[in-house]
A and B are shown apart, each in its own frame.
Chain A
């Protein structure tokens, strides 16, 4: 019973950690595309060039941060497993 309870709260904790990574990723992508669009309007480029450049680099950056975050989380989990 105790084990089952721990498992449930453990998986929820993992869910919390991973979902915050996802939200961060979404935020970066959203902000970079939105910012690119705003800059396009501000500089009156008349095309979507800044949306594409900034948005896509934001996308790459979000992937990089996600991978880094996951690495850190993975390491933490391994450390926890070792401690147990």
Chain B
């Protein structure tokens, strides 16, 4: 109990410091104050840590494995833009001012200039001018960005990995039903998804949905686990990805809905007639809130986890004393263990809730026909 309280207290303290830092940086922007060199060094470090965390949770147009002596070690990725025709170039293409595209230099492609600002591509002029509005967002036209970004690359790799892994597993079962190799680890998980997620929630119609549930479970699980590794991969913490996953669940629920499901939505039993009309739009809205909750849950959990771990590591370099040097690595380790649990739990919860919503849609209420 005491341990839990202590961890909670430290986490709260960390959040407080994180917010305090944020305000300080804002103040610094607002009012130019004369500072001692020592303070500005610390402020600089705080800003650096904040930028590092902000950068980490975003998708990127290149893969940076590490930074050594100011140089990023990694590899570029292709940039694909649709702006009145397709434009292709690599993200390390040298721009007009001699720097690379990923470092903010405008790049010419088919007579037009493009520049990168906070991982978003804008059409600009040959000097790369961006006019910022009051919220610091550029007013220039954003283009349709179809690039193979870091997240897209990782999704492709995970997809190929899953096909190879499960394809191999399926072949091995043709020879013998005794699991071999990776199947030894994965068979219990597959059985778990079937017996603990699909059957209790969906019932006897579970077989049709097993393909989706297994895919989504392992996809989220592998991406969550990859996110914990030191390559800066944060795919499930990207709202676009969780949005697409939730959309698939929504489509499956909508298209496999039974008569009873639709009756509950359009003509709810057990309420007076005038209320049935009012309930109709609310119930239709209800079908949307369920996948919305799925989307937010996975996104928020993964993003929060990444931010907390990164902030804790960053705090070592901000405080720079022996207490911080001992406390923060320890705290990071504790939170990291929690994140390992969250990685598995969120994959489970997403699959479980998808199965639950599908189950609610395909369910036929026998008891209602009786009375």
B352 touches A9 (CB 8 A): yes
Inter-chain contacts of B357 with A (CB < 8 A): 20
A16 touches B356 (CB 8 A): yes
B285 touches A27 (CB 8 A): yes
Instruction: Produce 1/0 per residue, A1-39, CB < 8 A to B.
Output: 000011001101100110110011011100100000000
Least Cβ–Cβ distance between B311 and chain A, in angstroms: 27
Output the nearest chain A residue to B201 by Cβ-Cβ distance. A13
B338 interfacial by beta-carbon distance below 8 Å: no
B289 interfacial by beta-carbon distance below 8 Å: yes
A28 touches B282 (CB 8 A): yes
A9 touches B196 (CB 8 A): yes
Inter-chain contacts of B201 with A (CB < 8 A): 13
Inter-chain contacts of A27 with B (CB < 8 A): 285, 288-289, 292
Inter-chain contacts of A6 with B (CB < 8 A): 200
Instruction: Give me 21 A-to-B residue pairs in the complex whose CB atoms sit less than 8 angstroms apart, sorted by A's number.
Output: A6-B200, A9-B352, A13-B200, A13-B356, A16-B349, A16-B353, A16-B356, A20-B289, A20-B293, A20-B357, A23-B290, A24-B282, A27-B288, A28-B282, A31-B285, A64-B275, A68-B268, A68-B270, A68-B279, A72-B270, A79-B367
Bound-complex Cα distance A19 to B286 (A): 12
A77 interfacial by beta-carbon distance below 8 Å: no
B65 interfacial by beta-carbon distance below 8 Å: no
Kindly name the residue among A9, A10, A16, A64 whose own CB sees the greatest number of chain B CB atoms within 10 A. A16
Bound-complex Cα distance A5 to B270 (A): 34
A16 touches B271 (CB 8 A): no
Output the nearest chain A residue to B353 by Cβ-Cβ distance. A16
B352 touches A13 (CB 8 A): yes
Inter-chain contacts of A17 with B (CB < 8 A): 356
Which of B275, B289, B349 contacts A23 (CB under 8 A)? B289
Bound-complex Cα distance A80 to B277 (A): 29
Main secondary structure of the interface of B (DSSP, over half): helix
On A, residues with C-beta under 8 Å from B are 5-6, 9-10, 12-13, 16-17, 19-20, 23-24, 26-28, 31, 61, 64-65, 68, 71-72, 79
A-B contacts besides A9-B197, A19-B293, A27-B285, 10 pairs, CB < 8 Å: A12-B349, A20-B289, A23-B290, A24-B285, A27-B292, A31-B285, A65-B282, A68-B279, A72-B270, A79-B367
Least Cβ–Cβ distance between B269 and chain A, in angstroms: 9
Output the nearest chain A residue to B349 by Cβ-Cβ distance. A12
Inter-chain contacts of B353 with A (CB < 8 A): 16
B278 interfacial by beta-carbon distance below 8 Å: yes
Inter-chain contacts of A26 with B (CB < 8 A): 289
Instruction: Produce 1/0 per residue, B177-201, CB < 8 A to A.
Output: 0000000000000000000110011
Bound-complex Cα distance A64 to B279 (A): 10
A5 touches B289 (CB 8 A): no
Which of A9, A24, A61 contacts B289 (CB under 8 A)? A24
Inter-chain contacts of B197 with A (CB < 8 A): 9
Output the nearest chain A residue to B293 by Cβ-Cβ distance. A23
Instruction: Produce 1/0 per residue, B218-248, CB < 8 A to A.
Output: 0000000000000000000000000000000
Lowest 8 A-B CB distances belong to which pairs? A23-B293, A27-B289, A23-B289, A16-B356, A16-B353, A24-B289, A24-B286, A20-B290
Bound-complex Cα distance A23 to B289 (A): 6
Known A20-B293, A28-B285, A68-B270; judge A61-B352 contact (CB<8 A).
no
Known A24-B285, A65-B279, A79-B367; judge A9-B200 contact (CB<8 A).
yes
Inter-chain contacts of B352 with A (CB < 8 A): 9, 12-13, 16
Bound-complex Cα distance A43 to B286 (A): 28
Bound-complex Cα distance A10 to B275 (A): 32
Inter-chain contacts of B286 with A (CB < 8 A): 20, 24, 65
Bound-complex Cα distance A79 to B371 (A): 14
Inter-chain contacts of A23 with B (CB < 8 A): 289-290, 292-293
Least Cβ–Cβ distance between B126 and chain A, in angstroms: 41
